[in-house]
Amino acid sequence: MSGDIAKAFARAKARGEGALVAYAMAGDPDLPRSVDVFTALVEGGADIVEVGVAFSDPIADGPVIQGASERALKAGSTLRRVLEEVVPEVHRRCPETPLVIMTYVNVIMAMGEERFAKLARERGVSGAILPDLPPEESGALRATFDAAGVDLIPLCAPTTPRARAEAIAKDARGFVYCVSVAGVTGMRAELPPDLSQRLDLVRNASPVPVVAGFGISSADQARTLSAHADGVVVGSAIVRAAHADGPQAAKALCAEIKRGLKR
């Protein structure tokens, strides 16, 4: 356990707020300017920052993040460059904010699990989310990450049966990422009615904080969910705002959602 993530949740809780986990794509529109986007997320109130690393075949992502992946790859983004050119600078500007890498397992395999974990920790990464690596496939990789002090954050889905969800939560590192809707990333006008029950179930079983993600883009949604979760993840809405109107728009969106998270 890196411990950084637990501290960030504790700080938010002490302020009487749910945590905002904010996602943006490294390398969109290019590597240096994405550093400004990540910084803006923290200025807007993000408690944890997810650093997206582009993959050519993002099967868990909807059109907004697919588009960002394509732009980032065109701009020359790679995991190695993100760890060298983006993560250290964001970490220098925002030393309190845990950084979590979100990418697909093939990108990590290509670098080598051990090499990634060591390098990531050195550069200031606290955790990683790999949406195409379910528990059955993650044993060896998680042991490697544990040894390096990088939390492999598990995902739990609406389709996950109760016992499996509890097992995932009990064994979690960092936080549990509860996928709110059966589908890909992207903004949704409505979230499923049984989401709060599911969050309660996972939260009861989990020794670490629980957040809801996928589909969340407004302060109202964040407010509703914050009664049942320790925080929310916002991704596509931020990526869209940053792409359309730059870092300040992403900052404003974070601030707005953060208002919804105040208890």
Partner 1 sequence: MNTETAAGRFGRFGGRYVPETLVPALMELEEAYAAARADPTFDAEVARVLREFVGRPTTLTPARRLTESWGGAHVWLKREDLAHTGAHKINNTVGQVLLAKRMGKQRIIAETGAGQHGVATATACALFGLPCEVYMGALDVERQALNVFRMRALGAVVRPVESGSRTLKDAMNEAMRTWVSQVSDTHYVIGSAAGPHPYPTVVRDFQAIIGKELRTQAQAAFGKLPDAIVACVGGGSNAIGVLHPFIGDASVRLIGVEAGGHGLDSGQHGASLTLGSEGVLHGSRSLVLQDGDGQIQEAHSISAGLDYPGVGPELAHLAKTGRMEVRTATDDEALAAFYEVARMEGILPALETSHAFARGKELARELGVGKYLVINCSGRGDKDVATISARGVPPAVGVKA
Residue 59 C-beta: closest distance to partner 1, Å: 5
Residue 55 C-beta: closest distance to partner 1, Å: 7
In angstroms, the CA 250 to CA 241 distance is 5
Q: Residue 220 catalytic?
A: no
According to the binding rule CB under 8 A, does residue 158 interact with partner 1? yes
> Which residues have C-beta within 8 Å of that of residue 168, sequence separation ≥ 6?
135, 154, 155, 156, 160, 176, 202
List 4, 28, 47, 50, catalytic entry? 50
Return the residue matching tokens 């589908």: 183
According to the binding rule CB under 8 A, does residue 167 interact with partner 1? no
Choosing from 43, 132, 146, 171, the residue that interacts with partner 1 (CB under 8 A) is 132
Task: Say how many Å lie between the first and final Cα of the chain, rounded.
Answer: 28
Among 15-23, 175-183, 220-228, 248-256, the segment contacting partner 1 (CB under 8 A):
175-183
Distances in Å between the alpha carbon of 42 and those of 4, 23, 99, 190, 253?
15, 11, 11, 27, 11
Helix 247-261 vs helix 31-43: angle between axes, to the nearest 10 degrees? 30
Residue 76 C-beta: closest distance to partner 1, Å: 10
Choosing from 1, 6, 111, 187, the residue that interacts with partner 1 (CB under 8 A) is 111
Choosing from 2, 97, 160, 224, the residue that interacts with partner 1 (CB under 8 A) is 160
In angstroms, the CA 199 to CA 32 distance is 37
In angstroms, the CA 85 to CA 213 distance is 27
- Window 14 to 73, contacts with partner 1 (CB under 8 A): 55-62, 66, 70, 73
According to the binding rule CB under 8 A, does residue 126 interact with partner 1? no
Q: Residue 84 catalytic?
A: no
Phi and psi angles of residue 153, each rounded to the nearest 5 degrees, phi first? -85, 125
Secondary structure class of 168 (helix, strand, coil): helix
- The residue ranges that bind partner 1 (CB under 8 A) are 55-62, 66, 70, 73, 78-80, 104-111, 131-134, 136-137, 155-161, 164, 168, 179, 181-184
Active site residues: 50, 61
